[in-house]
Amino acid sequence: MAAPCVSCGAPLSYRLFLGGRVSFARRHGVWKAAAAELQIGAGSQILRLRHTTGVTTKKNVAALRRETYTVDFIKKQIEEFNIGKRHLANMMGEDPETFTQEDIDRAIAYLFPSGLFEKQARPIMKHPEQIFPKQRAVQWGEDGRPFHFLFYTGKQSYYSLMHETYGKLLDVEKRQNQLQAKGLFSENTKTKDLIGSRWLIKEELEDMLVEKLSDQDYAQFIRLLERLLTVQRDAEEEFVQQFRRSVTIQSKKQLIEPLQYDEQGMAFSTSEGKRKSARAKAVVYEHGSGRIKVNGIDYLLYFPVMQDREQLMFPFHFLDRLGKHDVTCTVAGGGPSSQAGAIRLAMAKALCSFVTEEEVEWMRQAGLLTTDPRVRERKKPGQEGARRKFTWKKR
């Protein structure tokens, strides 16, 4: 099939610029169709179009690639989604007009409870735009002529973006030069709030452009943007902001328990902690002599192992408050080590209320305020344990 295609290369390009006339319906792609045409019309007139009328190449091109969704299909899905949303709202007894996505999620979780661990495997009902991957609409018109002038680069949106950015850079530089020439150049010390935001990552840029990029392309683009910002800090704010995402600062999320006061006027604070399957509640009193009672038993008797007691010591030792607080705690579940870990977390959280913000930050960085996410891994079939395989026998 290849040889005839090559031979008809020149006449084909000639064909591209001819008007539309009916041919036969294609089942195959461009080149294959041309070859078939040649075979049929061998020797006959070459001036025959490869396009059909009503049935446009959109459909054929769509059939070539796997799982492309047509615009109509997506539209139909959106309609169905909206109708379904209204039905769901009616089912849940809520107002269909003000039924948000969170309400939908809640309703689905209620109607289809799933015990699957993988969150993405559970039933979801979202807008089709979030479910179906973004498709590129066909890039060329009826005459086969691509819409975009950079189509033949292969990565049209990327190169057009680069072109646009470079244009903006040149504009900004020109303006700067003009200002300098006029002598009105003012040191612009208005630094943009770049802290707390980051550039897009490659995957996000790919999503935005609906195009595959290489690492070098991405790096080049970011470098261009940085260059733009070095020339003038607040250049093209809205344009640049499109490519920045905010970064949340973790530590501000720490809750500080309020202090409570009991009958004698002694301040105390309660909180909970957990580790593996142990759950603990600790009550830390402000003034004391370092006594700790676990489930009514002294901690020396409850934890005969030194390691567990060292775990209990850690929060106090870290804050240098070894003999200053009294603690009463209750714990259930798990084994001795996990109970010790749970109590440690509960005590650390309770101590937050007696301590300055800075020290809370230090504790967080030391890992005292984080729940240990490690749980026992499930045993898999075909293996002896979670990781251990059966003994391998050669024969």
Partner 1 sequence: MDPGRILHTGSRAPQSVAAHLDDQAADDGPRAVSRTSEKDPVKTFGEACLMVRKPALELLHYLKNTDFAHPAVRYVLYGEKGTGKTLSLCHVIHFCAKQDWLILHVPDAHLWVKNCRGLLPSAYDRTRLDQPAEASAWLKNFKTTNERFLSQIKVQGQYVWNKRESTERGRPLGEVVEQGLTRAKSATDAVGVVLKELKGQSRAGGFRLLVAVDGVNALWGRTTLRREDKSLVAAEELALVHNLRKMVRNDWHGGAIALTLSQTGSLFKPRKAYLPQELLGKEGFDALDPFVPILVSNYSPKEFESCVQYYLESSWLQHEKAHTEDGKKQLLFLSDANPGQLERLCAHL
Binding site for partner 1 (CB under 8 A): 290, 297-301, 304, 306, 309-310, 313, 316-317, 320, 322-323
Task: Give the strand pairing for 326-332 and 278-285.
Answer: antiparallel
Nearest to 100 by CA among 85, 110, 79, 120: 85
To partner 1, the closest distance from the beta carbon of 344 in angstroms equals 13
To partner 1, the closest distance from the beta carbon of 350 in angstroms equals 17
How far is 200 from 306, CA to CA, in rounded Å? 49
Of residues 140 and 314, the one with the C-beta less far from partner 1: 314
To partner 1, the closest distance from the beta carbon of 300 in angstroms equals 4
Of residues 323 and 335, the one with the C-beta less far from partner 1: 323
Of residues 46 and 355, the one with the C-beta less far from partner 1: 355
Of residues 132 and 318, the one with the C-beta less far from partner 1: 318
User: For residues 176, 181, 187 and 192, what is the CA-based torsion angle, rounded to 10 degrees?
Assistant: -10
Of residues 210 and 305, the one with the C-beta less far from partner 1: 305
How far is 302 from 288, CA to CA, in rounded Å? 20
How far is 203 from 213, CA to CA, in rounded Å? 9
Of residues 113 and 296, the one with the C-beta less far from partner 1: 296
Of residues 164 and 310, the one with the C-beta less far from partner 1: 310
To partner 1, the closest distance from the beta carbon of 240 in angstroms equals 52
CB within 8 Å of 226: residues ≥ 6 apart: none
Token pair recorded at residue 365? 């960085």
How far is 63 from 59, CA to CA, in rounded Å? 6
User: For residues 208, 212, 213 and 214, what is the CA-based torsion angle, rounded to 10 degrees?
Assistant: 150
CB contact at 8 A, 345 and 280: yes
* DSSP H helices in the chain: 2-7, 9-16, 30-40, 57-64, 71-92, 101-111, 128-131, 156-182, 202-209, 215-231, 237-241, 299-302, 306-318, 336-351, 357-366
To partner 1, the closest distance from the beta carbon of 349 in angstroms equals 20
Q: How many residues does the chain have?
A: 395
Residue for token pair 């604070």: 269
To partner 1, the closest distance from the beta carbon of 311 in angstroms equals 11
How far is 251 from 365, CA to CA, in rounded Å? 9
CB contact at 8 A, 331 and 274: no
To partner 1, the closest distance from the beta carbon of 299 in angstroms equals 7
How far is 178 from 174, CA to CA, in rounded Å? 6
Residue 217, Ramachandran bin (φ over 0: left; ψ between -120 and 50: alpha; else beta)? alpha
Of residues 159 and 314, the one with the C-beta less far from partner 1: 314
To partner 1, the closest distance from the beta carbon of 288 in angstroms equals 12
To partner 1, the closest distance from the beta carbon of 272 in angstroms equals 23
Of residues 156 and 328, the one with the C-beta less far from partner 1: 328
To partner 1, the closest distance from the beta carbon of 235 in angstroms equals 55
How far is 223 from 275, CA to CA, in rounded Å? 45
Of residues 174 and 291, the one with the C-beta less far from partner 1: 291
